[in-house]
């Protein structure tokens, strides 16, 4: 069953469960929050990477 990874019907089941848990009204708000969190995480990771590279050249 899992030898081929995720199949389309797996994603369909996950989508149905998410809709049932959060409801269709709260789903866009949750997606916005997730997107905002991902942008913050990405910017923090980029800042840490640039801090590491500038810290190496300063020593």
Please, where are the H alpha helices in the chain?
8-58
Per-residue pLDDT, 36: 96
Q: Does the pLDDT of residue 2 top 70, yes or no? A: no
Band of pLDDT at residue 46, cut at 50, 70 and 90: very high
If one counts every other C-beta atom within 10 angstroms of the C-beta of residue 33, the result is 11
- Integer Cα distance of 12 and 6 in angstroms: 10
Q: Does the pLDDT of residue 42 top 90, yes or no? A: yes
Band of pLDDT at residue 45, cut at 50, 70 and 90: very high
Give 13-38 pLDDT, tens digit per residue: 988 898 888 887 888 888 899 999 99
């Amino acid at each position: 069953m899992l030898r081929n990874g995720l199949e389309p019907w797996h994603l369909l089941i996950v989508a149905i469960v998410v809709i049932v848990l959060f409801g269709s009204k709260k789903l866009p708000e949750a997606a916005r929050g997730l997107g905002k969190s991902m942008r913050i995480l990405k910017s923090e990771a980029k800042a840490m990477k640039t801090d590491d590279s500038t810290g190496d050249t300063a020593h």
